[in-house]
């Protein structure tokens, strides 16, 4: 006789499940938008909703209502849990999608130095204090070394999406500084996830044995290498084939990305590595396809972050009582270790490179947040039995705090820079009001030629070639109709700007899918990364003002357009 308890799904389960999704999504998205307006991450709001509705508050003070909305029925809990895990799987897919690992690898000099430093140093900084934590914070004191290794791995994983969002808000993402930062974070995240999955595989063994660890390491390394080596070409060819068949977009790209995630997730899970890593690698691979448009990437990201991610992070608050598992000393320790380890790890790495001194602080700060990925890793560890609830809560608080702090911290670092005047780099002869060109290449060649007229040492063709090569690696369209192509070359003495207005617009594969109508071309000396970053950030900040774009759009002729630009550049306040 089969004595297993069968849990059947009935209409009441569906009714409560729909009500749970409605309440969680409404509250998480609503509060998330409010937090976004306060320049705070939506992650904080989503977790807060779960904490309020979970056992921490709602379950403690209104247990009857809490039991009605979130009943202890196993089938009911599994429905919401499954939906939430679909969310985190696709969050990892989207995180990988944002990563251009092949470009980071081609420029692996500085990026690799920073990434390796930001992996090794945080691991050492975290391992030592975690090795001596009291037994009460450990699931199994006999596996203390493995626990300390896990905490060390957690401290290496930086929140690439959080850093990208803040750099975008500061108009630094499309600069060379932003490119270097994201490249280093790409390597950091990939290596960090490999380390975590290996530790998780070690923990799943009943007794430690070196051979299974070696097998996990080798199979993970082989899978990752093969996927990254051949996945880009395969994804590009698949998308090209679908385009020739005139299949609808972005639906086809979305389907391909989901199928690849499911395939890679199945492979890694069967290898003894968590499926999350497979989805992450799938995102990296499909993201490497150059014929995957920015519009498709944007739609995939919006779907994930508008629907799945809020439910996942709100559901975390339903799992655990944050009050009973809160330990102030442990929270402060994890925050201190995480921030100091990642900051100084990146700072030492940047110091070993040729990055200008004034940019070292910016890159180091960008590596400090733990964010979503730190919480995801901690949740997997808690549900696997690797860490206690108290450690999980400490990691969550650290992730939220670092995600909230990076924005003000970076803004303050930018304000400490010396002020510049854009009028020093552009004049009336560098303005063209009515460009009728139809391609990105034509626009860049024209503006590079205008910039070259101001110097004798570099010709327009060489500047255009350098700028177009930069475009192929990391596009410079920032949205809202603006693009800032740029080049850094030997032979340029001082920075030079030129500007063109394109009434009809040019397709530039912008992140918001809009055509580009306003183009600033910047040429700077090879080693002048500091002034290069300031100029690009200043232009983008001015152009995000509605009155600026309106005045530029309404100006009649190049003379009036120059007067408008001169006025905007002159009255723009110093700093951010």
Question: Domain spans of the chain?
Answer: 78-415, 422-571
CA atoms of 220 and 270, how far apart (whole Å): 11
Which position has the token pair 């391609």? 439
CA atoms of 492 and 534, how far apart (whole Å): 17
For position 332, what pLDDT does the model report?
A: 94
List Cβ neighbours of 344 (8 Å cut-off, separation of 6 or more). 121, 125, 364
- pLDDT tens profile 430-469: 888 888 888 999 999 999 988 888 777 778 888 899 888 8
Residues 547-573, mean pLDDT to the nearest whole number:
84
- Band of pLDDT at residue 535, cut at 50, 70 and 90: confident
List Cβ neighbours of 557 (8 Å cut-off, separation of 6 or more). 433
Of 182, 178, 185, whose CA–CA distance to 486 is shortest?
178
Residues 396-410, mean pLDDT to the nearest whole number:
86
Asked whether the predicted pLDDT for residue 1 surpasses 50, the reply is no
> Where is pLDDT greater, at 573 or 349?
349
Residues 185-190, mean pLDDT to the nearest whole number:
78
For position 106, what pLDDT does the model report?
A: 61
What's domain 422-571's architecture? Answer: 3-Layer(aba) Sandwich (3.40)
For position 107, what pLDDT does the model report?
A: 57
Asked whether the predicted pLDDT for residue 377 surpasses 80, the reply is yes
Contacts within 8 Å (CB) and 24+ apart, 443-449: 443/500, 443/502, 443/506, 443/519, 444/468, 444/471, 444/485, 444/519, 444/521, 446/500, 447/485, 447/498, 447/499, 447/500, 447/519, 447/521, 448/487, 448/498, 448/521, 448/523
Asked whether the predicted pLDDT for residue 574 surpasses 70, the reply is no
Helix axes 251-270, 210-244, angle to 10 degrees: 160
Residues 73-96, mean pLDDT to the nearest whole number:
86
Is residue 338 within 8 A of residue 155, CB to CB? The reply is yes
219: its two tokens: 């199979």
Is residue 273 within 8 A of residue 199, CB to CB? The reply is no
- pLDDT tens profile 204-240: 665 556 676 677 778 888 888 899 888 888 988 998 8
Asked whether the predicted pLDDT for residue 539 surpasses 70, the reply is yes
Residues 304-313, mean pLDDT to the nearest whole number:
88
CA atoms of 206 and 213, how far apart (whole Å): 12
31: its two tokens: 């509060």
**Burial of residue 61 (number of CB atoms within 10 Å: 0-12, 13-18, 19+):** exposed
> Where is pLDDT greater, at 180 or 237?
237
Distance of CA 421 to the CA centre of its chain: 31
For position 336, what pLDDT does the model report?
A: 93
Neighbour count for residue 207 (Cβ, 10 Å): 5
For position 575, what pLDDT does the model report?
A: 42
559: its two tokens: 């003379």
List Cβ neighbours of 554 (8 Å cut-off, separation of 6 or more). none
Asked whether the predicted pLDDT for residue 330 surpasses 80, the reply is yes
**Burial of residue 303 (number of CB atoms within 10 Å: 0-12, 13-18, 19+):** middle
Of 201, 85, 203, 194, whose CA–CA distance to 138 is shortest?
203
Query: Which of 129-143, 257-271, 323-337, 473-487 shows the lowest mean pLDDT across its residues?
Result: 473-487
Query: Which of 11-25, 112-126, 202-216 shows the lowest mean pLDDT across its residues?
Result: 202-216
CA Rg, the chain, in Å?
25
CA atoms of 451 and 495, how far apart (whole Å): 10
Asked whether the predicted pLDDT for residue 200 surpasses 50, the reply is yes
**Burial of residue 362 (number of CB atoms within 10 Å: 0-12, 13-18, 19+):** buried
336: its two tokens: 């201190």
For position 502, what pLDDT does the model report?
A: 92
- In order, the DSSP letters of 49-117 are HHHHHSTTTHHHH-HHHHHHHS---HHHHHHHHHHHHHHHHHHHHHHHHT--HHHHHHTHHHHHHHHHH
Query: Which of 9-18, 151-160, 168-177, 289-298 shows the lowest mean pLDDT across its residues?
Result: 168-177
CA atoms of 280 and 278, how far apart (whole Å): 5
- In order, the DSSP letters of 298-336 are HHHHHHIIIIIHHHHHHHHHHHS-TTTT--HHHHHHHHH
Q: What is the mean pLDDT of the chain?
A: 84
- Band of pLDDT at residue 18, cut at 50, 70 and 90: very high
CA atoms of 410 and 366, how far apart (whole Å): 8
For position 529, what pLDDT does the model report?
A: 60
For position 344, what pLDDT does the model report?
A: 92
**Burial of residue 230 (number of CB atoms within 10 Å: 0-12, 13-18, 19+):** exposed
Of 162, 290, 173, 274, whose CA–CA distance to 220 is shortest?
274
Helix count and strand count (H, E) for the chain: 24, 6
Percent of the chain with pLDDT over 70: 92
> Where is pLDDT greater, at 171 or 463?
463
For position 153, what pLDDT does the model report?
A: 85
Is residue 262 within 8 A of residue 92, CB to CB? The reply is no
Percent of the chain with pLDDT over 90: 20
The secondary element (H helix, E strand) that includes residue 496 is strand 496-506
Residues 500-513, mean pLDDT to the nearest whole number:
85
Asked whether the predicted pLDDT for residue 573 surpasses 70, the reply is no
- In order, the DSSP letters of 361-410 are HHHHHHT---HHHHHHHHHHHHHHTSS-HHHHHHHHHHHHHHHHHHHHHH
CA atoms of 368 and 349, how far apart (whole Å): 14
For position 185, what pLDDT does the model report?
A: 82
For position 74, what pLDDT does the model report?
A: 85
Residues 244-258, mean pLDDT to the nearest whole number:
86
Query: Which of 98-107, 122-131, 181-190 shows the lowest mean pLDDT across its residues?
Result: 98-107
- In order, the DSSP letters of 501-566 are EEEEEE----TT-PPEEEEEEEEEETT-HHHHHHHHHHHHHHHTSHHHHHHHHH--HHHHHHHHHH
Q: Is 1.10.3720.10 the CATH classification of the domain at 78-415?
A: no
Asked whether the predicted pLDDT for residue 190 surpasses 80, the reply is no
**Burial of residue 504 (number of CB atoms within 10 Å: 0-12, 13-18, 19+):** exposed
Q: Bridge-partner residues for 501, per DSSP?
A: 518
Asked whether the predicted pLDDT for residue 2 surpasses 50, the reply is no
Which position has the token pair 């959080």? 162
Phi, psi of 82 (to 5 degrees): -65, -45
Query: Which of 39-53, 76-90, 97-111, 116-130 shows the lowest mean pLDDT across its residues?
Result: 97-111
Kind of pairing between the strands at 496-506 and 516-525: antiparallel
CA atoms of 531 and 150, how far apart (whole Å): 41
Query: Which of 20-34, 94-108, 139-153 shows the lowest mean pLDDT across its residues?
Result: 94-108
CA atoms of 379 and 389, how far apart (whole Å): 10
Phi, psi of 508 (to 5 degrees): -130, 10
Asked whether the predicted pLDDT for residue 327 surpasses 70, the reply is yes
- Band of pLDDT at residue 108, cut at 50, 70 and 90: low
Residues 107-125, mean pLDDT to the nearest whole number:
84
Query: Is the whole-model pTM more than 0.85?
Result: no
Which position has the token pair 């626009």? 443
For position 305, what pLDDT does the model report?
A: 85
């Amino acid at each position: 006789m089969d004595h297993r308890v069968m849990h059947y799904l009935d209409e009441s389960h569906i009714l409560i499940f729909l009500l749970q999704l409605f309440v969680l999504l409404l509250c998480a998205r609503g509060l998330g938008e409010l937090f976004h307006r306060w320049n705070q991450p939506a992650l904080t709001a989503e977790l807060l909703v779960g904490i309020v509705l979970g056992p921490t508050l709602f379950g403690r003070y209104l247990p009857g209502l809490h039991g009605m909305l979130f009943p202890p029925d196993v089938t009911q809990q599994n429905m919401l849990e499954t939906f939430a895990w679909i969310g985190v799987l696709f969050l990892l897919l989207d995180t990988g999608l944002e990563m251009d690992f092949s470009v980071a690898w081609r420029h692996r000099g500085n990026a690799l130095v920073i990434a390796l430093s930001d992996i090794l140093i945080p691991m050492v900084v975290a391992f030592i204090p975690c090795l001596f934590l009291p037994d009460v914070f450990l699931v199994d004191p006999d596996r203390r070394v493995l626990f300390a290794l896990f905490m060390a791995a957690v401290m290496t994983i930086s929140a690439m999406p959080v850093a990208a969002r803040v750099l975008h808000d500061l108009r630094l993402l499309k600069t060379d500084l932003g490119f270097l930062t994201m490249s280093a974070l790409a390597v950091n995240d990939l290596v960090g996830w490999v380390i975590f999955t290996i530790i998780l595989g070690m923990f799943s063994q009943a007794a430690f044995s070196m051979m299974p660890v070696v097998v996990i390491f080798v199979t993970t390394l082989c899978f990752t290498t093969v996927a990254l080596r051949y996945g880009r070409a395969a994804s590009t060819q698949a998308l090209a084939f679908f385009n020739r068949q005139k299949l609808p977009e972005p639906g086809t790209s979305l389907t391909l990305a989901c199928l690849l995630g499911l395939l890679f997730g199945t492979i890694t899970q069967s290898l003894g590595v968590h499926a999350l890593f497979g989805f992450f690698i799938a995102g990296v691979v499909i993201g490497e396809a150059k014929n995957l448009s920015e519009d498709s990437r944007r739609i995939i990201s919006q779907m994930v972050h508008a629907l799945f991610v809020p439910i996942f992070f709100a559901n975390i608050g339903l799992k655990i009582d944050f009050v009973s598992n809160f330990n102030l000393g442990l929270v402060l320790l994890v925050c201190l270790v995480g921030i100091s380890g990642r900051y100084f790890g990146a700072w030492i790495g940047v110091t070993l490179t040729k990055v200008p001194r004034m940019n070292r602080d910016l890159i180091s700060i960008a590596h400090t947040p733990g964010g979503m990925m730190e919480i995801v890793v901690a949740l997997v560890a808690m549900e696997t039995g690797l860490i206690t609830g108290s450690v999980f809560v400490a990691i969550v608080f650290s992730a939220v705090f670092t995600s909230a702090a990076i924005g003000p911290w970076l803004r303050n670092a930018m304000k400490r820079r010396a002020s510049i005047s854009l009028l020093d780099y552009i004049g009336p002869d560098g303005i063209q009001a009515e460009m009728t060109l139809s391609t990105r290449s034509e626009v860049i060649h024209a503006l590079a030629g205008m910039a070259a007229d101001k110097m004798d040492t570099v010709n327009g063709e060489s500047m255009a070639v350098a700028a177009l090569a930069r475009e192929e690696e990391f596009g410079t369209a920032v949205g809202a109709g603006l693009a800032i192509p740029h080049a850094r070359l030997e032979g340029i003495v001082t920075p030079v700007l030129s500007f063109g207005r394109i009434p009809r617009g040019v397709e530039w594969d912008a992140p918001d899918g809009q055509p580009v109508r306003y183009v600033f071309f910047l040429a700077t000396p090879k080693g002048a990364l500091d002034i290069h970053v300031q100029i690009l950030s200043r232009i983008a900040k001015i152009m995000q003002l509605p009155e600026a774009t309106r005045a530029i759009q309404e100006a009649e002729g190049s003379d009036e357009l120059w007067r408008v630009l001169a006025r905007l550049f002159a009255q723009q306040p110093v700093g951010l």
